[in-house]
Amino acid sequence: MGDSPKGDLSTISSMHTSILQEALGSSNRRASESLMYSYKRSFTGFVAKLTEEEKNRITNMDAVVSVFPNGRKELHTTRSWDFVGLPQQVTRRTSVESDLIIGMLDTGIWPESQSFNDQHFSAPPTKWKGTCQSSLNFTCNKKIIGAKYYRVNGEFPLGDFQSPRDTEGHGSHTASIAAGRSVSNASLYGLGSGIARGGVPSARIAVYKICWSDSCYDADILAAFDDAIADGVDIISLSVGGSSPYQYFEDSIAIGAFHSMKNGILTSNSAGNSGPDPQTVTNLSPWSLSVAASTIDRRFVTDVQLGNGEVYEGVSINTFDLEDQYPLVYGGDVPNTEAGYNGSESRYCEENSLDKSKVRGKIVLCDWTYNGTIIAGAVGAIMQDDFNDAAFSFPISSTYLSTNDGTEVYNYLYKTRKPTGRILKSSEKGSESAPFVVSFSSRGPNAITSDILKPDLSAPGVDILAAWSEGTTVTGNIHGDKRVVPFNIISGTSMACPHATAAALYVKSFNPTMSPTAIKSALMTTATPMSSSANSEAEFAYGSGQINPIKAAHPGLVYDMVENDYVKFLCGQGYSTKNLRIITGDKTSCSTSQTDATVWDLNYPSFTISSSKNSKITRVFHRTVTNVGTPVSTYRATIVAPQGLNVRVEPSLITFRSTGQKQSFVVSIMAQINDSMISGSLVWDDGVHLVRSPIVAYAST
């Protein structure tokens, strides 16, 4: 019924009752029984039980805008796809998508998950050349068309399945984010309830189990790359990385990704989970896609209610609900002295540091985020940590507060004779600040090639609900956790990577002949710009911005490259013929002209300059773009540059007469580099497409 009338709100319900009386032609009592709810604070309207005839009468009343049934709507669980603009009903080329194959290099897969149901799938694409290592506990289907496992040393960790079956959960989670089918009523004990779905639900999955409970080994990674390329996958998704960056020719992932690129296959990598420290991105090769983790517009909070009635909002994925108040103790007051611990150590609640007899049946206040083990018989844990932008699960009722709120709990504990507390089950809230890159996501700059921007872009990687292995528990077999679930909520750049993987395949479904480098360019140049107000590291946190799959499918222009372009780059970086042969796998050698090549001439979709502090530097970049949009089109260059960054583009206007035509241009950048980084952008605009590339200048020493 439109806007709420001004004045006394108490009269609105009476007005609704009067309307119902007129429609029902009955007494006030009958109308009151029909009226179920009145809206009156922000707008006016009501809910009522009506026959079809009664509904029609109300519909025809002058004061009524509309009448509609109380329909049922589903919450959007893997709402990360909705958040980046890829809704469930998006336009798809389903027949093409169904012929695309994702090579998932991970911990395996749980084939019984409804996310991998093959109902209504046709036979695998004829291009598929892979196999399925079937066993007594694993079979493939028309969705999971291939599966292999790798353990080159032949020594399998105790408890792991010697098959492609997933006992960790990680591989099932990433596979369903990328290509899981739509599953209704998915949740983790009611959290995130709704529809779980992947970005390309019609795509096929090929599983390459390279990771086990004790890690992922280089030998197994390379073996999987080798098979995946030969098997005919269209993209490789690898949510794996080292603890520190390695030179390209010492990095199994960089080598494998180079081979993939040579064979027309893009490798999508997670950036790493070692943030927010700088130079922590570990997957750095320019021929692969490095993905940071950003938030979505949903977060999970877990409240703490103290015995004095005060409530503090914490963060965790807590499926438990302590329905009563429990005694509250401080970890520093209950050390396990028999094991040699004192209060300065037990305050962190590390394993075995607490006295079991003093924490049993109590909630423990800890000065840090404990490692997830059961705390010596405690019923719950309250932790303090200012990095609370992502929620994690624990085997007992747990939450972590800001250090300020943690101090309030600490003060209550010491000022109260019998302090008590209760940790509630988690609930969902909106996040108006999203998207921003989460604190754990690894940051640039690039530790190997300082003038190539990494990460390349960001994708949702925080609090993502997706399929899980029923061969493990919510917390991954942490002692005492008995919760076995089909879906789980976890965070990491591991979750961001398959989002980018699916976005790349979505692009490929509309552009089947696009090279892996062109697909990467399409994702980067159409990414939604993000704000440095939430991430002071700016492009070193989020790269080009957050993925926008629909725009990426029609990018207008792409920065394309072939193998020889990368070889020239490596020669110019000082790689010897011997080293290049390790990477390329052939008899590549560096000519004199190639050794003179510079990193600034690599046809990358971003521009980066590094130099010493308090210096003024000029760099010249040569770039070539290929028209993949409107055949006849003209693009104009627009520069966004802050003080200290001067950018000139020649020519600033480029015209195309056909699809596939290439045009080259030169970008000259002069930067005054002080203590902090400065950044801007170059945008090519034809009135339809915005092809955006970040420009970054920073002090490397």
Do strands 235-238 and 266-270 pair parallel, antiparallel, or not at all (unpaired)? Answer: parallel
686: left (phi over 0), alpha (psi -120 to 50) or beta: alpha
Interior angle at CA 400, CA 399 and CA 405, nearest 5:
120
DSSP bridge pairs for 178: none
Residues in the chain: 701
Place of tokens 């877990």: 302
Q: Which of 118, 172, 166, 168 is nearest to 140 (CA)?
A: 118
Buried b (16+ CB within 10 A) or exposed e, 40-75: beeebbbebebeeebeebbeeeeeeeebeeeeeeee
The span from the CA of 661 to the CA of 696, in Å, is 28
3-state secondary structure of 385: coil
CB 208 within 8 A of CB 224: yes
The span from the CA of 386 to the CA of 400, in Å, is 9
Place of tokens 């390279």: 210
Is 106 catalytic? The answer is yes
Q: Which residues contact 10 (CB under 8 A, 6 or more apart)?
A: none
Q: Which of 16, 38, 113, 170 is catalytic?
A: 170
DSSP per-residue codes, 149-172:
E--TT--PPTT--SSSB-SSSHHH
Q: Which residues contact 480 (CB under 8 A, 6 or more apart)?
A: 373, 374, 395, 396
Q: Which of 301, 289, 237, 161 is nearest to 169 (CA)?
A: 161
Angle of helix 577-584 relative to helix 252-262, nearest 10 degrees, comes to: 70
Handedness of CA 142, 143, 145, 151 (dihedral sign): negative
Which amino acid is located at 360 in the chain?
R
Is 220 catalytic? The answer is no
CA gyration radius, the chain: 28
3-state secondary structure of 698: strand
Q: Which of 38, 202, 494, 521 is catalytic?
A: 494
Alpha helices in 25-65 (DSSP H): 28-34, 52-59
The span from the CA of 209 to the CA of 135, in Å, is 14
CB 179 within 8 A of CB 102: yes
Point out the residues that are catalytic: 106, 170, 494
